[in-house]
Structure 1
Amino acid sequence: MKFVFALIAALVAAPGFAAPVVGEKAVFDVELKLGANAVNGTLALEIIQVEADKFSIRTTVAFDGQEPNVKEEERGMADYADPVQVEQIIANCAAVGGSPEKVTVPAGEFDTCKISQVGEGAATEVWVARVPFANAQYREVRMTENGMMEITAKYRGDK
């Protein structure tokens, strides 16, 4: 489960929309593969409180056959980029180390800037897009003591 919370941290820490609004929500279809085994689920992010310098977010992770795991935490406003910054990332994708791509996810097709990173024992890819929390898709691959693990999250919408 700690890898799922790493996914959540990456989705929230990546650029999102500035001045979050209570009720803003994004839902992702998640697939977790470990070796030949796979489990599907959902990840929901929702803004539940906004103050001048911080906001609170509720994260709900639910995998098939398991009870949902709900976590609430405060985040600083610096964790959010404004829509202008998201536009700049997409428009200047190569300059920020990314590659422009169209990606199709359950919510539709989006122009994105795919940004890849390798570090901390994992390879990650984030597709920055004009959607809540600025992530149309996320993928992480890492080696664990039980074999190769892959997490993929695809933006489904706000329901």
Structure 2
Amino acid sequence: MGRLKHIERSYRRKGLNVTFYNNAVSNRTGDIVTIYSDTNFDIDWGAGILDTAIDNKNNMTEYKVRTIDIVHFIRNQIVPLKPKEVFMKMDIEGSEYIVLPQMIQTSTLCKDVITSFVIEMHEWAKKPMGSTLTFDDVRNMLGKQGCVPSEMVSVDDESYLHDIPRDPSW
């Protein structure tokens, strides 16, 4: 059982409805992208789709992964559940430059859809993704959605890597 499945089951035992998906987040569904990971994919560390940012591909494992449209996913999988609050952690290794504009255009980053979210914006990915978007730009755009915007916090925290003991049998 991989690390993510272990965490998923732990949350479920505590009564939380949690499901992890092995998909790449995008603004479109169905594309196949290559994920480069420096460890086992199920351990979930060091993965990304921007091969130009990966120096050592020979020592990495490639996985073919289907993309999901994050707005479609939220609107069709999360919103119908009518949760009291939705918290989103966005650390998607450069794809934030693709999905954030779409999420804002569709008013997905409104407090009645996503209550709050933390985001890691990867400066190194701006140029390869053809973006100039900054955290401040996103904050300004949130206020122009015509709704009460989601609460947004910038964070770069990898402490989750140590939230449970690592079991070599995963």
Do both share a fold (TM > 0.5)?
Answer: no
RCO greater where, 1 or 2, for CA within 8 Å and sep 6 or more?
Answer: 1
Query: Looking at CA atoms only, which structure, 1 or 2, has the larger radius of gyration?
Result: 2
TM score, norm. by length of structure 1: 0.31
**TM-score, length-scaled by structure 2:** 0.30
